[in-house]
C-alpha cells in the first residue's frame, strides 16, 4: 500500500521531533543537566521550530531550510548539541532540491557546499574533518535536485507515450475515415455516370457510410483535442440556448441582469455563430461585473432581417470611478469574433456613466440589392 505524501511529511516531522527532544534539559535530569521551566520551554520551542515546519516542506522548501539553519546557528551560539539541528538542515537541503520550484538555487548551494568542503580538505591540514558536514550538505542539495530531474524525466516520458498513443489512434482513424469517404465518392460517381436500379438502396448506403464517417471523425477530433487535466471539466460547446443559464449564473454571483429576446431565431444559425454570440455575451458580463460591480446590466438579443443584434449595457457603478472595458483585451477578443463573421461592433461609455456594447452578426446572405 502506497504512502501518501502527507504521510511521508508527517513521518519525517515526527522523526525530527523525536531526535530533537533529548536536547531539551528536562526537569528530571540529574543536577547540572536540568534547567528551570523557562529554559526548558525555550529549548522545547526551539526543537519544535526546527522540526514542525517539515509538514509544509513541499510547499515552502526554502523557508523550511532557513528555519532549520537558523535553529542550527542558534544552538551553536548557545553552545548546545547541534546534531538534531544538523539533521534537520540536511533533510531540508534535500527538500530544497527535490521540491523547490527553482532548480538553480539548490544546484548553486550544493556546488558551493562541495567547494567549501574541498577547500577545507586541501588547505586546512589540521581540521580536515570539518569539511565533512559541508560535503554532506552539498550532497543533500544535489541528491534532491537529482530526484527532481528523475521525476521530470518520468513525467516527460509518460507525456511522450501519451502523445504517441494519441497520434497512433489518430492515424488509424484517419485511414478508416479516408476509406469511408472514398467509398462515398465512388458510389456517388457511379450513380452520376449510370443511374442506379434502386436509388433508395444507394442513398441508404451512402447515408450509412456518411454516418459512420462522422462518428469516426468525432472520435478522431476527440482524441486530438482531449486534455487529461481538463477532461473532468469538459462541457459541450454552448449555444444561444445557454444564455439563460449564463444569466442565471451572473445573478447568482450578485449581478442584477435583465435579459430580453426580440424576434424569432432563424433555423439556419450555424453552431459557430451561436458560439461567438454566447462568448461575446459572456465576456461582456464578465467585464461589467469586474469593472462596474453592483451596476445593473441589460442584455438584448434582437433578431432582425439578416443579422442578430446583441447588446450588453450596464449602468454607472454605485461607487464613483471610471467605467472601462478592462484595458482592451476583452474587447479585442470580442472584436475578433465579430470580424470573423463580417459583423460590426460598437462599444464605449454611455453619457450616464455606464458602458454599452453592441455587436451585429450577420447570419444569412442579404438579398441582392439590399443595403448592408
> What's the pLDDT score for residue 357?
93
Per-domain boundaries in the chain: 240-362
Phi/psi of residue 349, nearest 5 degrees: -65, 150
Largest Cα separation within the chain, whole Å, is 114
Q: What string of pLDDT tens digits covers the 372 residues of the chain?
A: 456 778 888 888 899 888 888 888 787 777 776 777 788 888 889 888 888 889 888 888 888 999 998 988 888 888 888 888 888 899 989 988 888 877 888 888 888 988 888 887 777 666 667 778 888 888 888 898 888 888 888 888 888 887 777 777 667 667 766 776 777 777 777 776 767 667 777 777 777 777 777 766 666 666 555 555 444 444 566 788 889 988 988 888 888 999 999 888 887 777 778 888 898 999 898 888 888 888 899 999 998 778 889 999 999 887 655 444 444 457 887 888 888 888 899 998 988 888 999 999 987 544 433 333
Q: Are 355 and 325 in contact (CB under 8 A)?
A: yes
Distance of CA 220 to the CA centre of its chain: 25
Residue 92 to residues 22, 52, 57, 258: CA-CA distances in angstroms? Answer: 20, 12, 7, 57
- Write out the E strands in the chain: 257-262, 297-303, 307-314, 344-349, 355-362
> What's the pLDDT score for residue 296?
92
> What's the pLDDT score for residue 205?
74
| CATH code that applies to domain 240-362 | 3.30.565.10
CA distance linking residue 152 with residue 103, whole number of Å: 12
Half-sphere exposure of residue 153: CA atoms within 13 angstroms, side-chain side: 6
CA distance linking residue 183 with residue 189, whole number of Å: 10
> What's the pLDDT score for residue 287?
86
Counting beta carbons within 10 angstroms of the beta carbon of residue 352, is it exposed (0 to 12), middle (13 to 18) or buried (19 or more)? exposed
> What's the pLDDT score for residue 225?
59
Beta-carbon contacts of residue 337 (< 8 Å; ≥ 6 apart): 276, 279, 280
Residue 100 to residues 65, 89, 93, 156: CA-CA distances in angstroms? Answer: 11, 15, 10, 18
Amino acid at each position: 500500500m502506497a504512502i501518501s505524501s502527507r504521510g511521508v511529511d508527517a513521518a519525517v516531522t515526527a522523526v525530527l521531533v523525536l531526535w530533537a527532544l533529548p536536547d531539551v534539559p528536562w526537569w528530571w535530569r540529574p543536577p547540572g543537566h536540568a534547567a528551570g521551566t523557562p529554559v526548558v520551554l525555550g529549548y522545547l520551542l526551539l526543537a519544535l521550530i526546527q522540526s514542525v515546519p517539515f509538514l509544509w516542506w513541499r510547499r515552502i522548501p526554502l523557508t523550511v531550510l532557513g528555519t532549520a539553519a537558523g535553529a542550527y546557528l542558534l544552538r551553536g551560539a548557545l553552545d548546545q548539541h547541534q546534531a538534531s539541528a544538523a539533521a534537520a538542515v540536511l533533510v531540508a537541503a534535500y527538500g530544497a532540491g527535490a521540491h523547490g520550484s527553482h532548480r538553480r538555487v539548490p544546484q548553486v548551494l550544493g556546488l558551493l557546499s562541495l567547494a567549501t568542503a574541498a577547500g577545507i580538505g586541501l588547505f586546512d591540514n589540521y581540521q580536515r574533518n570539518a569539511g565533512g558536514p559541508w560535503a554532506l550538505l552539498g550532497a543533500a542539495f544535489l541528491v534532491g535536485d537529482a530526484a527532481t530531474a528523475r521525476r521530470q524525466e518520468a513525467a516527460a516520458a509518460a507525456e511522450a507515450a501519451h502523445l504517441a498513443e494519441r497520434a497512433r489512434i489518430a492515424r488509424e482513424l484517419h485511414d478508416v475515415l479516408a476509406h469511408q469517404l472514398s467509398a462515398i465518392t465512388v458510389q456517388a460517381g457511379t450513380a452520376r455516370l449510370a443511374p442506379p436500379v434502386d436509388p433508395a438502396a444507394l442513398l441508404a448506403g451512402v447515408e450509412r457510410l456518411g454516418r459512420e464517417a462522422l462518428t469516426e471523425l468525432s472520435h478522431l477530433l476527440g482524441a486530438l483535442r482531449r486534455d487529461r487535466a481538463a477532461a473532468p471539466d469538459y462541457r459541450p460547446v454552448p449555444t444561444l440556448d445557454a444564455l439563460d443559464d449564463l444569466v442565471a449564473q451572473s445573478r447568482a454571483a450578485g449581478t442584477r441582469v435583465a435579459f430580453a429576446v426580440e424576434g424569432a431565431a432563424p433555423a439556419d444559425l450555424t453552431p459557430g455563430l451561436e458560439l461567438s454570440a454566447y462568448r461575446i455575451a459572456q465576456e461582456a458580463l464578465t467585464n461589467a461585473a469586474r469593472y462596474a460591480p453592483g451596476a445593473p446590466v441589460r442584455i438584448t438579443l434582437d433578431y432582425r432581417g439578416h443579422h442578430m443584434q446583441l447588446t450588453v449595457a450596464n449602468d454607472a457603478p454605485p461607487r464613483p470611478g471610471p467605467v472601462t472595458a478592462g484595458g482592451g483585451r476583452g474587447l479585442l477578443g470580442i472584436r475578433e469574433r465579430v470580424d470573423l463573421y463580417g459583423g460590426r461592433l460598437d462599444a464605449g461609455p454611455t453619457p450616464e456613466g455606464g458602458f454599452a456594447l453592441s455587436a451585429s452578426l450577420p447570419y444569412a446572405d442579404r438579398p441582392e440589392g439590399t443595403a448592408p
